[in-house]
Amino acid sequence: MEFPFRSAAVSTFAHATENERRVLSVLKTLLPEGVGVRRLKLEGHHGNPIVNLEAKIEQRKLLRELWQRVMAKLRMGELKKLSKIVPERVDGDCFFYLRFDKQLAHLGKLVLADSGDAIHFKLKVAAYPARREVAVKLLEKFIGADRNEAEAQVHRF
């Protein structure tokens, strides 16, 4: 199965109540080694300091490693959920959006989230022609193949 991603942006926020180093550490556990993280200071609605941490990846080798790291941390139930939510997470520009619970990621568990305090993934799907339906089909096939491989590995032990 051909790898479907062309680029990725991975980001999260470190709020004033959080230890920024810990948040950065959690983010780096998902990123391939050597990928830089941009730090941008923001101000919340009530004047509270917020730091946006973001990494961008465009190299195919690093994109593959990013995806492998995510797949290695996902539990089987989350992988099944991921394969079901593809249509609602792809937009008209062929971006695939994922959110993972930041607090659980700190504990080493990668769990999909719909909202709240999350690590955000924005993955550009290399779909030809560049249409949402094409991207959805491509991702469903790709994630289904990953899921089948993961299930096969579980059954080997």
How far is C-alpha 131 from the geometric centre of its chain's CA atoms? 21
Q: How far apart are the two ends of the chain, measured CA to CA in Å?
A: 24
Domains of the chain in start order, with CATH, are 5-9+56-156 (3.30.1440.10)
Residuewise pLDDT in 10s, the chain (157 residues)? 789 999 999 999 999 999 999 999 999 999 999 999 999 999 988 999 999 999 999 999 999 999 999 999 988 889 889 989 999 999 999 999 999 999 999 998 999 999 889 999 999 999 999 999 999 999 999 998 766 665 544 433 3
Tokens in use for 39? 């730090």
